[in-house]
Structure 1
Amino acid sequence: MTETAWIALAAALSISVAAIGATVAQGKATTAAMDAIWRQPEAANDVRGALIVSLALMEAIAIYGLLIGLLIIFMLG
């Protein structure tokens, strides 16, 4: 493989691993939040607020993966 192919592979892996990890974590967090709201509806506002903050942090991890992938492409490519 050429150097360009290795750079493209590294960028693709960094983006895909971050996206897959964030997606799985967001799914599990949302499932747990919906279960908590179903069990205790009066705490829905507290659970919803915590869910939104945690989803934003998980999405930031996916954006960091994209940033690393773009840095790999533009700095090494």
Structure 2
Amino acid sequence: MTSRALTKPQTRGLLAKRLRFHIVGAFAVSPGVAAFCKSAVAEPRKKAYADFYRNYDSMKEFEEMKKAGIAQGVK
């Protein structure tokens, strides 16, 4: 029967080593996430707003709300 001694775990400097690894990873991944959010969320939202307001008639909308009784402060 052979018994091998287990190696001691590294405890000194472990936090600094792990933080260094995760900070580098965060800086490497964040531009990709930002680009994805811009292309998947921001640009379609800006396009939807532009499409909506391209043909939006505020006076027509106001008259419809007035007829429906939503705008009660006006006659």
TM-score calculated relative to the size of structure 1? 0.36
Which structure would you say has the larger RCO, counting Cα contacts within 8 Å and 6 or more residues apart?
A: 1
- Structure having the larger proportion of residues in helix: 1
TM-score calculated relative to the size of structure 2: 0.36
Between structure 1 and structure 2, the one with the greater Rg is: 2
